[in-house]
Structures are given as structure tokens and as C-alpha cells.
Amino acid sequence: MRIFLQKNDQQAWKWITQGYEKAFSYFDFETIIIDDLKKIDASKEYYIFYREDGVNDSTIDILKNSKQAYLYVQPNHFPYHWGQHPSWQCSVSKENITKLNSFDNIKKWTFCSDLSFFNLWNDVHIMPLAYDSISYQSKEVADYKYDICFIGGFADNGFNEKIKNMQEVLGAFIESGLKCGFSVNGNVSHEIENSVLNESKISLNIHDLYQRVVGLDSNERTFKSLGCNGLLLCDYVKQVKDLFPFCYCSNNPKDLIDKAREYCYLSINDLNEIKQKNKIFISENHTYIKRVEKFISLK
């Protein structure tokens, strides 16, 4: 069976698409990346994995005629002021939303855990991000190179609000005396990132301001940190705390540093026991393979 996945070079979506591409391949789908729905060869049965921003009047029938389509949808409204930006605006007309809602083969989904923002879409499934357990491999080490690690980018989502959060938290950790394996906008390869995550006692995560305030979604680093490293300190985002109540979350850098020191004082055996428990939880519940398994089960 073929599945057509939308090409997207946007920083976050590039890795998300790669995670899903490999997970669909795991289930023996023939994965094909396309940049336009109209390029689909419909001579055989096919599935589609696409975002609503690639849907228009001329592509509605392509979705309708697929065996199954998994359509990522945006909220129809979003909290001020973020709702003013195209990154958080639904691009599909009300007329086409009505059509898409009527097609049983189209399964609509979102990262968001609050569906009240999707007031025009029907039957939206919540699918948070996940850990790419195919691209990243976890291993237990006996001698850690870093106390805490962070690898990421500013990822300006339209209002450039994340940079302040990152400067505040990362700056405090750098001055704390802990051994920090940090890289920001460093274009670090998967291989190096994988090594740093494995060679660190703790992983650190920082979200965008809207994620802290609204709390309805979380970034991919949440899942990657827990799946590969096993121990996460994170700024407070409601979805993170709801999904992972065992994860320590705070927007106060001092509290995060104090908790990091607490973990670093543990014996290697005790530290690894905590990490291994969390890794197992992720592998059983929050990998892209598990997400695809759920997609396939939707009828």
C-alpha cells in the first residue's frame, strides 16, 4: 500500500515528516514524498498524510477518492495575539471544511489537546508529537560526559518569543557550574545529537511562549529527550505535565537547576534506573510507530 506524505522543509515539520515516513515504512507502506496533491497517481489504492494548508478546491476530490487520508488541521480560532499569525490560522474555507467533514475516509488530527479551538472541524483526533525511535537509538552509559544537555533552535513561530525563554534558562544553567552540553541553531546532525543525549545525565527542554501560556501542545524535543535520554527537566507546559506527570516542570531557572543538581547527586545505578523506566514508558506509548499504529486503527 502506498502512502503519500506532504513534503515540508519547515524546520520542525521536516523532522516530524521524517518520523512518520519511517514509521509508515515500518508497517510496510510504500512512502512517497510529494509537494502537491495533484501529483498523486491514483491508479492504485493509496493513503494520504497531509496538512490542511495543502488543500484547496482542486484537491478535495483527491482526498475523497483515497482509501484513507490523515489530514492535519489547524484551529479555526486561536488565543489572541497568536491567532493573528498564519501559523495558527486554518487556511481551508468554511465550505470546504463542511465537505471534508462529510467524507468518512478522511481522519482529521491535531497536536493540540484542547479541541475547543476547532469549532468548525468535526471528529478531530488528538495526536501529540512522538519519539522517532528509528532515527534515534537509546543506550545506557556508565560514564556521563555532561550533566545536562540541550540541542535546539530559536524556531521563530511568528512573534520571536522563544528566544527570551531560551536565553533566560540556558544562561542560568551555563552560570550554574554544571557540565552543559548545549547547542542552539548549530545544525547538529542526528548522530551527534543522539550521542549527546545518551552521554548526558539529564536532558533539558524549552518551549515557545504560546505553549507555556495556552498549554495545548508540546514540542518534539519532549518525546525525544525522554525516549533517548530518559530524564527530562522542562519548562511548564500543561500538555507535558498531563502526558508525563513524572516529569519535573518549572518556568523558574533556579528550580530547574536545583532539581538538576538533585539528580546529579544520585548514584549512577539509581539515575539509570529512573531513566530506564521512563524510556520504557515512551517506547510503549509515545513513538511514531505507536502513532501510526493508532492512525491505521481509525475506522
Angstrom CA distances, 136 to 24, 83, 178, 288, 295, stand at: 16, 34, 25, 12, 22
Per-domain residue ranges of the chain? 2-127, 146-285
Between CA 45 and CA 1 the distance in angstroms is 7
Name, in order, each residue with C-beta under 8 angstroms of 39's C-beta and a sequence gap of 6 or more.
none
Whether pLDDT at 294 is above 80: yes
Mean pLDDT score across all residues of the chain? 95
- For domain 146-285, give its CATH number from 2.40.30.170, 3.40.920.10, 3.40.50.2300, 3.40.50.2000: 3.40.50.2000
Do 2-127 and 146-285 fold alike per CATH? yes
Q: Are 260 and 172 in contact (CB under 8 A)?
A: no
Taking the C-alpha atoms of 264, 270, 271 and 272 in order, what is their torsion angle to the nearest 10 degrees? 150
Whether pLDDT at 286 is above 80: yes
Between CA 237 and CA 247 the distance in angstroms is 11
Lowest mean pLDDT among 16-20, 49-53, 155-159: 155-159
Q: What is the pLDDT of residues 191-231, one digit of tens each?
A: 999 999 999 999 999 999 999 999 999 999 999 999 999 99
**Which of 49, 52, 135 lies closest to 89, judged by CA?**
52
What pLDDT does residue 295 have? 98
Q: Are 248 and 234 in contact (CB under 8 A)?
A: yes
Q: Record the cell numbers describing residue 108, joined without a space.
A: 482529521
Largest CA distance in the chain: 62
Between CA 216 and CA 128 the distance in angstroms is 10
Q: Are 134 and 117 in contact (CB under 8 A)?
A: no
Residue 48, beta-bridge partner list: 4, 69
Give residue 73's identity as a one-letter amino acid code. V
CATH class as words, domain 2-127:
alpha beta
